[in-house]
């Protein structure tokens, strides 16, 4: 053994001393933070004003709310970026995550949020397997340290958000969400440049212009401010990993399957009312839609009016046979909600 290596290798005594010094320093930092928080307590009214002012910035408001579909309804909530902004403006908080261990192809982490003023702490311990799911190859093991770090950080950020929202009063979060909605509506740009930005935003998720137009049920150049706000929430959801693109937009695979089904059922009979009559073969999306309409036991005019009021049909006077494929697909996707509205209106 080269005796010079001992000069660069810490002895067990030195290692123990370093650990003690680091531990003592961490304890002193926490004690100092607690003392400062007690000495300078937050002014809640001033903190609320700072949060609302932050939510008036379009750059924050546009990424502040996520949206995803579950059980036929759209669920919205504060995004990771908004939770961080609220925590920063609320003051006397420390939040983040720590990787406790990395072994067995997984990382064990702890996410936390600590209110130093009230000494309230929310934390959660979780594991992140070093795997990435792909539709083509299934679960793919990760070996690149950068890929592992990004995977861990992405999963941890959602837990950190949950800890922040569990620590900060709910009415503060609701007020921030309301302000963000007002900012988004006021800043909803429908100009040609804004339409190009929408396309660029969704291109990174493999979404094309045709898929966006089918989602909003109109051409992109006729988009309305409310639809711009909805697309921004979807984009924030995709960015945060709360949902996937195929949950919002009909994929090319689904389009191909629907086209094949429509080809198989090109020969259709019509009734005296202009509605399609179902045949005994496998139903197409159009036939499924008509079967659901007939099962409601109400007139088509009642169904068509509800679909028109909820933005499914462009023309309330259109018959069931006149419905476009995109309108039928949209109606089927939200049928649980629409059918309840039809039943409620028929009473």
> How much of the chain, in percent, has pLDDT values that exceed 70?
77
The reported pLDDT for the residue numbered 22 is 73
Distance CA 229, CA 101 (A): 41
Q: How far is CA 227 from CA 59, 184, 185, 218, 222, in A?
A: 18, 11, 10, 10, 10
Distance CA 185, CA 296 (A): 36
Work out the number of other CB atoms within 10 angstroms of the CB of residue 153: 14
Residues constituting the chain: 347
Report the range of poorest mean pLDDT among 115-124, 182-191, 236-245: 236-245
Cβ-in-10-Å burial (0-12, 13-18, 19+) of 146 comes to: exposed
Condensed to tens digits (0 to 9), the pLDDT of residues 198-256 reads: 888 888 888 888 888 887 777 888 787 778 888 888 888 788 777 778 777 876 544 44
Bridge partners of residue 124, in order along the sequence: 111
The reported pLDDT for the residue numbered 311 is 67
- pTM (global) more than 0.75: no
Look at 68 and 281; give whichever has higher pLDDT: 68
For the chain, the structural domain boundaries read 23-174, 188-247, 252-345
Q: Which residue bears the tokens 């909530």?
A: 77
């Amino acid at each position: 053994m080269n005796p010079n290596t001992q000069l660069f290798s810490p002895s067990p005594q030195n290692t123990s001393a370093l650990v003690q010094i680091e531990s003592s320093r961490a304890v002193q930092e926490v004690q100092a933070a607690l003392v400062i928080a007690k000495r300078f307590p937050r002014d809640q009214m001033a903190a609320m004003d700072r949060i609302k002012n932050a939510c008036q910035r379009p750059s924050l408001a546009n990424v502040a709310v996520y949206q995803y579909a579950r059980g036929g309804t759209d669920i919205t909530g504060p995004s990771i970026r908004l939770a961080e902004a609220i925590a920063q403006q609320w003051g006397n908080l420390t939040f983040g995550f720590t990787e406790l261990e990395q072994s067995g192809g997984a990382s064990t982490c702890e996410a936390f949020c600590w209110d130093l003023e009230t000494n309230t702490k929310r934390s959660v311990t979780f594991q992140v397997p070093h795997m990435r799911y792909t539709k083509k190859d299934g679960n793919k093991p990760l070996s690149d340290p950068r890929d592992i770090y990004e995977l861990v950080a992405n999963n941890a950020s959602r837990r950190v958000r949950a800890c922040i929202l569990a620590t900060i009063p709910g009415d503060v979060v609701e007020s921030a969400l309301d302000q963000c909605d007002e900012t988004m509506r006021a800043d909803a740009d429908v100009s040609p440049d804004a339409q190009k930005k929408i396309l660029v935003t969704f291109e990174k998720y493999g979404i094309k212009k045709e898929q966006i137009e089918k989602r909003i049920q109109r051409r992109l150049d006729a988009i309305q401010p409310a639809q711009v706000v909805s697309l921004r929430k979807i984009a924030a959801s995709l960015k945060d990993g709360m949902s996937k693109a195929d949950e919002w937009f009909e994929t090319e695979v689904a389009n191909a399957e629907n086209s094949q089904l429509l080809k198989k059922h090109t020969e259709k009979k019509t009734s005296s009312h202009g509605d399609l009559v179902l045949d005994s073969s496998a139903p197409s999306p159009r036939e499924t839609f008509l079967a659901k309409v007939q099962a409601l036991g109400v007139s088509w005019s009642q169904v068509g009016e509800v679909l028109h009021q909820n933005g499914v049909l462009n023309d309330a006077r259109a018959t069931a046979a006149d419905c476009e494929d995109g309108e039928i697909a949209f109606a089927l996707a939200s049928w649980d909600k629409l059918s309840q509205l039809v039943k409620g209106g028929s009473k």
